[in-house]
Structure 1
Amino acid sequence: MHIIIISRQEEETRRAFQTGQMARLGLSFEFLDAFEARDLTDAECQAAANMWPSPSLPQDIACFRSHRLAWTRVVKTGQPTLILEDDAVLAETLPQVLTAIEAAQIPANAAFDLEFTPEPHILDDREKLAFLGGKVVARRVFKNRVGLAAYVIGPQVAGRMLKDTERYGLIDSYFWHRPWLMGLQIEPAQAVQMRFLQDNEDAQPYHRPQEKRLFRPSSKLRKALLRLELELNRGRCLLQAAFHSQRRQPLIDRAQFRT
Structure 2
Amino acid sequence: MRSDIDILVVNLERSTERRTLMAEQLDRLGVVYQFFPAFDGRKGEHAREFRYDPAIAARHGLRPLTPGELGCAASHVAIWRRCSETGRPVIVLEDDVITEDRFAEDVPLIRDLVERYPLLRIAAIRERPGRVVESLPRGRQVVRLSNGPRGTMGYALSPQGARALLHEIDTLAEPIDHYIDMFWLHGLRIMALKPYPVWERPSDGLPSTIESIRWDHRASFPNKIAREAHRLLGEVMRVSYNASDYFTSIGRS
Q: TM-score range by the shorter chain?
A: 0.7 to 0.9
Query: Could you tell me how far 1:116 is from its partner in structure 2?
Result: 3.6
Mapping 1:52-67, distance limit 5 Å? 52=57, 53=60, 54-55=62-63, 56-67=65-76
Match of 2:156 among 145, 152, 157: 152
Alignment check: 8 A CA contact 1:177 1:234 kept: no
Per-residue deviation at 1:47?
A: 4.9
Which of 6, 10, 19 is 1:6 aligned to?
Answer: 10
2:193 aligned with 1:186: yes
| RMSD of Structure 2 on Structure 1 (CA) | 3.4
Residue 115 in 1 paired to residue 123 in 2?
yes
Question: Which of the numbers 141, 146, 152 marks the counterpart of 1:142?
Answer: 146
Number of residue pairs matched by the alignment: 220
* Greater per-residue helix proportion: 2
| TM-score relative to the length of structure 1 | 0.73
The TM-score normalised by the length of structure 2 is 0.74
> What is the identity percentage for the equivalent residue pairs of Structure 1 and Structure 2?
19
1:50 Cα shift?
2.2
Return 5+ residue gaps in structure 2 as ranges: 217-221, 247-253
Residue 23 of structure 2 is aligned to residue 38 of structure 1:
no
Q: What is the aligned partner in structure 2 of residue 97 from structure 1?
A: 106
How far the C-alpha of 1:229 sits from its partner, in A, is: 6.2
Q: Is the aligned partner of 1:130 residue 2:135? A: yes
CA spacing shift, 1:158–1:47, aligned 2, 3 Å: closer
- What secondary structure is seen at the aligned counterpart in 2 of 1:165? coil
Q: CA deviation at 1:160?
A: 1.8
Q: Give, in whole Å, the separation in 1 of the partners of 2:8 and 2:68.
A: 20
Q: What SS is found at the alignment partner of 2:132?
A: coil
Checking the alignment, whether the CA contact within 8 Å between 1:136 and 1:188 is kept in structure 2 is yes
Q: Does the aligned pair in 1 maintain the 2:142–2:193 contact within 8 Å?
A: yes
What secondary structure does 2:77 align onto?
helix
Structure 1 residues 233 and 66: CA distance shift in structure 2, 3 A:
same
Instruction: Answer whether contact 1:51 1:167 (CA < 8 A) is retained.
Output: no
Runs of 5+ consecutive residues of structure 1 not aligned to the other structure: 199-205, 215-219, 246-259
- The aligned residue for residue 171 of structure 2 is 167
